[in-house]
Amino acid sequence: MSIPLIAMPQGAEWLVILAIVVLVFGAAKLPELARSSGQALRIFKAETKSLRDNDDSKAATPTAELPGAENTPAAAEAERTDPKNV
């Protein structure tokens, strides 16, 4: 069994981290920092969801129906090795 070199912070470590954050940013800036972090997280989640939705819609569309699919290197290779084209 291996012992991890870095473990998750426990109770006292979180208090030290919180104290350092308060000293660095100041108590007045913490609500603004939390608000902007939450907004950035919401934007990130929305973008990843839209990317996943786009990937799902592309996976449902066969490659032959995609515009420009005949110009891909895989299509050119398939055309060269197709016995019907000889």
Provide the domain count of the chain: 1
CA atoms lying within 13 Å on the CB side of residue 85: 7
Residue 78 lies in a domain: no
Residue 12 lies in a domain: no
State the pTM of this model. Answer: 0.43
In percent, the amount of the chain with pLDDT more than 70 equals 64
List CB contacts of 79: < 8 A, sequence separation 6 or more. 85
Give, for 64, the enclosing helix (H) or strand (E): none
Alpha carbon 66 to its chain's center: 25
Residue 53 lies in a domain: yes
Which domain does 40 fall in, by range? Answer: 30-58
Torsions phi, psi for 73 (to 5 deg): -60, -35
Residues 9-49: tens digit of each pLDDT: 788 898 999 899 888 888 888 888 889 999 999 999 999 99
